[in-house]
Amino acid sequence: MIVLLPVIWFVIASGYDYSDLAGTYTTGGDRVSCSLILRPDATFHEELQDSIGAKSADGTWRRIGEGGVVFSSQFLRLPGQQSFSDRFGNDPKSITDADFGGHFNKILTVYPELDLDASPTDIRLRKELFR
């Protein structure tokens, strides 16, 4: 049994598959709250509540590398969040300039969090364990 523990830990820690990352991620601040549902079929549903009101959007997401993620241009921008064109400038040949990026981190190598690219610091969404 003790021999199996490192194997089980490795499988969980290295799991960056769509099904491993799927779930509901949330964040909330003084004036903004966001709920992001990532589905294993690479689609998402986002609900954003701010001082203007409530909005929702549906789009797609895709993994890049081990922990990277890109959201389609339908993603609702959170305050401070940057698109690829915001970060790197416009490229007339690019079809992803309006897309938003981020990366997944795993707390204690098992619990995923999502950091969205923003300035001056990333925006962190935490995965809900029970929903």
- Higher-confidence residue of 96 and 26: namely 26
How many angstroms separate the CA atoms of 120 and 39, rounded? Answer: 29
Question: Residue 106: which H helix or E strand, with range?
Answer: strand 100-107
Question: 98: domain range?
Answer: 4-127
pLDDT digits 0-9 by tens, 14-56:
556 788 889 999 998 778 999 999 999 999 999 999 888 999 9
Give the predicted TM-score (pTM) of the model: 0.78
Question: Which is more confidently placed, 81 or 58?
Answer: 58
Q: What is the CATH number of the domain that holds 13?
A: 2.40.128.50
Among the ranges given (26-40, 50-64, 102-116), the one the predictor scored with the smallest mean pLDDT: 102-116
Spatial contact of 32 and 79, defined as CB atoms under 8 Å apart: yes
Residue pair 83/97 in contact by the 8 Å Cβ criterion: yes
In the numeric block, the tokens 């992001």 are attached to 36
pLDDT of residue 13: 47
Count structural domains, the chain: 1
Cis status, amide bond into 92, omega within 30 of 0? no
Contact 9, 109 (CB under 8 A): yes
**129 three-state secondary structure:** coil
How far is residue 127's CA from residue 113's CA, in Å, rounded to a whole number?
6
Instruction: State whether residue 18 is helix, strand or coil.
Output: helix
Label residue 122 by pLDDT band (50, 70, 90). confident
